[in-house]
């Protein structure tokens, strides 16, 4: 009888684990605790690895308040000719890849859009951004830009 009782306890314990463990995981997941633990673990791995030297092959160009002040143009109103000039300069400097995380889904003037489209096509190494809208739709760059681009990817705004 003792063996039978131990076997029943073992089965009951396993059954309890099969029910309780998933419930705990669901609870932790619904509160965001699992995601936080995952991010903490990821941070910890980078801490263990230590600092790594910067990659000098990557050059980052960003639009910021200093750019706004310098050009006296709001960031959202930068003419496409500015972007075209940037593409030409980076391409001329030997950039292997030029990636924009900027929303080019709305047309501006024909002249500005044509200048940027031509620069993208001439460079041949430009990747443009798609943006996922709250509605679930995808805001894609206008066709004049994607026709000459190397490809597209998604970017995220916070």
**pTM for the full predicted model:** 0.63
Does 2 have pLDDT greater than 80?
Answer: no
- Region of 85 (left: φ > 0; alpha: ψ -120 to 50; beta: rest) is alpha
3-state DSSP assignment of residue 104: coil
pLDDT of residue 115: 98
Residue 35: in which H helix or E strand, if any? helix 33-49
Q: How confident is the model at residue 158 (pLDDT cuts 50, 70, 90)?
A: very low
Find, among 130, 114, 125, 131, the residue nearest to 149 by Cα.
Answer: 125
* pLDDT per residue as tens digits for the range 127-150: 999 988 888 899 999 999 999 999
* Structure-model confidence comparison of residues 21 and 149, the more confident one: 149
* pLDDT per residue as tens digits for the range 71-123: 788 777 889 999 999 999 999 999 999 999 888 999 999 999 999 999 999 99
Give me the percent of the chain exceeding a pLDDT of 70.
97
């Amino acid at each position: 009888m003792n063996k039978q009782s131990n076997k029943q306890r073992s089965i009951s314990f396993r059954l309890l684990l099969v029910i309780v463990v998933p419930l705990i995981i669901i609870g932790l997941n619904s509160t965001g605790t699992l995601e936080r633990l995952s991010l903490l673990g990821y941070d910890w791995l980078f801490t263990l690895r230590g600092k790594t030297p910067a990659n000098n092959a990557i050059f980052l160009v960003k639009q910021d308040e200093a750019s706004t002040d310098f050009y006296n143009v709001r960031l959202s109103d930068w003419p496409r000719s500015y972007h075209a000039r940037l593409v030409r300069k980076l391409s001329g400097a030997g950039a292997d890849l030029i990636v924009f995380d900027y929303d080019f889904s709305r047309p501006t003037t024909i002249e500005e859009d044509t200048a940027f489209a031509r620069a993208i096509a001439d460079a041949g190494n430009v990747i443009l951004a798609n943006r996922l809208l709250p509605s679930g739709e995808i805001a894609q760059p206008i066709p004049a830009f994607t026709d000459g681009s190397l490809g597209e990817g998604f970017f995220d705004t916070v």
